Amino acid sequence: MHAADPFLFQLFFIFVWAKLFGEIFERLRLPAVLGEILAGVVVGPYGAALVVPSDAIYAVAEIGAIFLLFTVGLETQPKELLVVGRTSLYVAMAGIAVPFILGFSYMVLRQHTPHEATFVAAAMVATSVGITARVLGDLHVLKTLPARIILGAAVFDDILGMILLGGVVGLASNTGTQWAQLLVTALEAVGFAVVMLFYAPRVVRRMEPGLERMSTHDAPLIIALAICIGLSYAAAKIGMAAIIGAFFAGLAFAEYSPRWNLRPRVSAINEFLAPFFFFSMGSRLNIAVFQDRKLIVSAIVVSILAIISKMVGCGLPVLRSGWSNALKVGTGMVPRGEVGLIVALVGLQMNLISEQAYALVIFMTAITTLVAPPMLKIVFKEESTTVDTIPEEQHTAV
Amino acid sequence: MHAADPFLFQLFFIFVWAKLFGEIFERLRLPAVLGEILAGVVVGPYGAALVVPSDAIYAVAEIGAIFLLFTVGLETQPKELLVVGRTSLYVAMAGIAVPFILGFSYMVLRQHTPHEATFVAAAMVATSVGITARVLGDLHVLKTLPARIILGAAVFDDILGMILLGGVVGLASNTGTQWAQLLVTALEAVGFAVVMLFYAPRVVRRMEPGLERMSTHDAPLIIALAICIGLSYAAAKIGMAAIIGAFFAGLAFAEYSPRWNLRPRVSAINEFLAPFFFFSMGSRLNIAVFQDRKLIVSAIVVSILAIISKMVGCGLPVLRSGWSNALKVGTGMVPRGEVGLIVALVGLQMNLISEQAYALVIFMTAITTLVAPPMLKIVFKEESTTVDTIPEEQHTAV
């Protein structure tokens, strides 16, 4: 294993640097994920070049992205949607349409290629509700109506975002701009989602007795892992992003996750692998591109568009129940996260977007994530004081 | 992620083939690990060549080996040794010395290089007690004296085996045969083991309050993972095998493992990664070497030596308490496992042992593992019937 020294070296230092930056960010009450990405920017090849990830590390990072989305899927309970119902669906749909249209239009106006515009717009779509949920939990307002709408909308948002990403990647890899092809790709993505949403959980349910008869130690976990990798491969094979398969695999197992104790164990795999993904992501960000002032302007405009478009898109469907609620829901849906970043990374790897556009998306993700918590604290101020007496239990609601 | 298709393809099929063979072996009441290795032999490049592992897969397999030994370390409680005491230590020591000397002598007699003889002999040393523990559990005899001596001896055996491996690898990489160098290497290995055994747990104990104050989500797991990779890197850096570092990292955290709930989560990582390691191991076995009849003879002789030497070495220190107990302890220590296989793999990767010697070790490991369960059932026959009325609790003793 002597030849492997550089691999172990990278494995160790990437993990440590990512977690170190994550810890610093946590202490500053900023999202740890941004810290892990920043570690890649600062220590990686475009920064101090202390650690330059090899192909083996990128392979590990790719498995990391798969487990990241598998975990997101496992935590998404389609059943919970029935509670919050239609409002959440409308919030999610408008919250996807408005940012996508605004983002696409702006990018095309700035003379980017249609492919690049599509990828950046798609990256502006997916809300990452983790940060919102944590802030709302801290404020003890998770049981209020807007909070419940947000959490429900986030589930639809994830699923719709995945379908959109499937369509975008499929379209991009066909390089066709014919309408017929666009239709086929969209249908493929929707079909995949429908099968996975409605058929797959039933398959899992039927597998259950067989699984519990299997001789392999811990068969449910093994089967879940196999299906996760298998669907990732299948998704990539039919021209969508691998992570879409991983996400829907998670969704299929979400119902049985508590019973088979899947979540804590998949999370452990995720906690080991995810830092490599985020670090790699940062290590591909060429900070030199920001020397171009035009790009800085673009980055700021895209970030503002990302914030406003979510607030408007997600706020509008709630307007009937008052301005205050609309503002709360809109603000809660602002932060973008992993999915947007992965969209950008897929685009970069397919050579469909430039280093500049990639930098744009990371900048936008960071801004929306940093800006949301203080905004949430302001708009939820009144509830936070009125319901402050509700017992501690609420903390565990998410 | 399109370029990554072959990687995902391999990831999926290796996992599925390994687990499929593992399941078949389990159903035949054979060890799953042997099935996973066989999958690599049958499906891998020297077999049907359905899946040819790439460098990225070998990198994943290497992390798998590290987590395998980390798990072994986590499950080893040095404290438990005080209960079984000196007898176990003597059993372990004689059980290491006799196979090593016999193995080395035979290999040198058969005109292998000293390096090759050393590696094969070292691979004959480490007992893998997992299979024994399971058979004894099935027979309800885990609380008998010989069973407790076996389980205690297995812990010493692991630690001493690691020190020996450290010495062997260090010696081999120095390529020196001078006695001074041998001494330095041996001291280095012993020193590493002593520091890790006596000093590291204290460091972990002192880290505890700080760890629980950390902002990072699930800090103990993250720190344990970081230290595991870090020590693997350190061990490789000072010229020992990386897995030695991982094993001692596990040992250092063993005491706190229940409290921080480390084991189930590290096991989950292990269950995902280990199949890649075992499959890779099998995929490097060139079955064509067995066309040489001389090698088959060697393999059979080495296997018989491996069985007899453990029975004699481990039985002798127990002889005072009767032939029957000596036979039981000796038989219980026969199965070899992961550590021996890794020794051979390290040798192969360092180009210090031939494909033939590698095949020899895998053959020997398979034979000792297959032969032990039926032998155990015979020698433990009387206890099994006399203590059959003892309550179910015993099952959970290991």
Per residue in A249-299, pLDDT (tens digit) is: 988 898 888 888 898 899 999 999 999 999 998 998 888 888 988 899 999
Q: Contact A268/B173, CB-based, under 8 Å?
A: no
Give the pLDDT confidence of B42-70 residue by residue, as tens digits: 999 998 999 999 999 999 999 998 998 89
Q: Which letter does DSSP use for residue A393 in this model? A: G
Of B91, B138, B32, the C-alpha closest to B376 is B138
Residue B397 has a pLDDT of 36
Q: Contacts of residue A5 in chain B, CB cutoff 8 Å?
A: 233, 236-237
Q: Show the tokens assigned to B109.
A: 């007699």
Find residues 259-318 of chain B whose CB sits inside 8 Å of chain A.
264-269, 271-272
For residue B347, the chain A residue with the least C-alpha distance is A1
Strand, helix or coil at B378?
helix
Q: Show the tokens assigned to B25.
A: 């072996």
For residue B225, the chain A residue with the least C-alpha distance is A272
Residue bearing tokens 């812990």? B155
Q: Contacts of residue A232 in chain B, CB cutoff 8 Å?
A: 8, 12
Find residues 26-85 of chain A whose CB sits inside 8 Å of chain B.
26-27, 32, 55-56, 59-60, 62-63
Tell me which H or E stretch contains A168.
helix A145-174
Provide the CA B293 distance to its chain's centre, in angstroms: 29
> Which residues, including other chains, have CB under 8 Å from residue B89's CB and lie 6 or more apart?
B81, B153, B156
Residue A217 has pLDDT above 80, yes or no: no
Percent of chain A as helix, strand, coil, to the nearest 5? 80, 0, 20
Interface residue B237 vs chain A (CB under 8 A): yes
Of A305, A317, A352, the C-alpha closest to A109 is A305
**Helical H segments across B44-141, by residue range:** 55-74, 81-84, 86-109, 114-123, 130-138
Q: Contact B12/A229, CB-based, under 8 Å?
A: yes
Amino acid at B237: K
Model pTM score: 0.84
Q: Contact B5/A271, CB-based, under 8 Å?
A: no
Identify which of B2, B5, B241 has the shortest CB distance to residue A1.
B241
How many contacts, defined by CB atoms under 8 Å, are there between A and B? Answer: 155
Amino acid at B82: L
Of A99, A88, A75, A97, the C-alpha closest to A150 is A88
Lowest average pLDDT, out of A87-101, A262-276, A304-318, B157-171, goes to B157-171
Per-residue pLDDT of chain B (398 residues), as tens digits, is 344 478 999 999 999 999 999 999 989 888 888 899 999 999 999 989 999 999 999 999 999 989 988 988 888 766 665 566 688 889 999 999 999 999 999 999 998 888 889 889 999 998 887 778 778 877 888 778 888 888 888 878 877 887 787 777 777 766 555 566 667 767 777 788 788 877 888 888 888 888 878 877 788 999 999 999 999 998 888 777 788 888 889 988 988 888 888 988 999 999 999 999 999 989 988 888 889 888 999 999 999 999 999 999 999 999 988 899 999 999 999 998 878 888 888 888 888 889 999 999 999 998 998 888 889 989 988 776 654 444 433 333 33
Q: Contact B230/A12, CB-based, under 8 Å?
A: yes
Residue B109 has a pLDDT of 93
Percent of chain B as helix, strand, coil, to the nearest 5? 80, 0, 20
Q: Contacts of residue A3 in chain B, CB cutoff 8 Å?
A: 349
Percent of chain A surpassing pLDDT 70: 89
- ipTM value > 0.95: no
Percent of chain B surpassing pLDDT 90: 39
Amino acid at A81: L
Which residues on adjacent β-strands are paired with residue A336? A127
Tell me which H or E stretch contains B163.
helix B145-174
For residue A275, the chain B residue with the least C-alpha distance is B222
- The answer to whether residues A340 and A125 touch, using CB atoms and an 8 Å cutoff, is yes
Residue bearing tokens 């801290």? A138
CA–CA gap between residue B395 and residue B377 (Å, rounded): 17
Q: Contact B11/A271, CB-based, under 8 Å?
A: no
Identify which of B1, B23, B222 has the shortest CB distance to residue A241.
B1
CA–CA gap between residue B249 and residue A264 (Å, rounded): 22
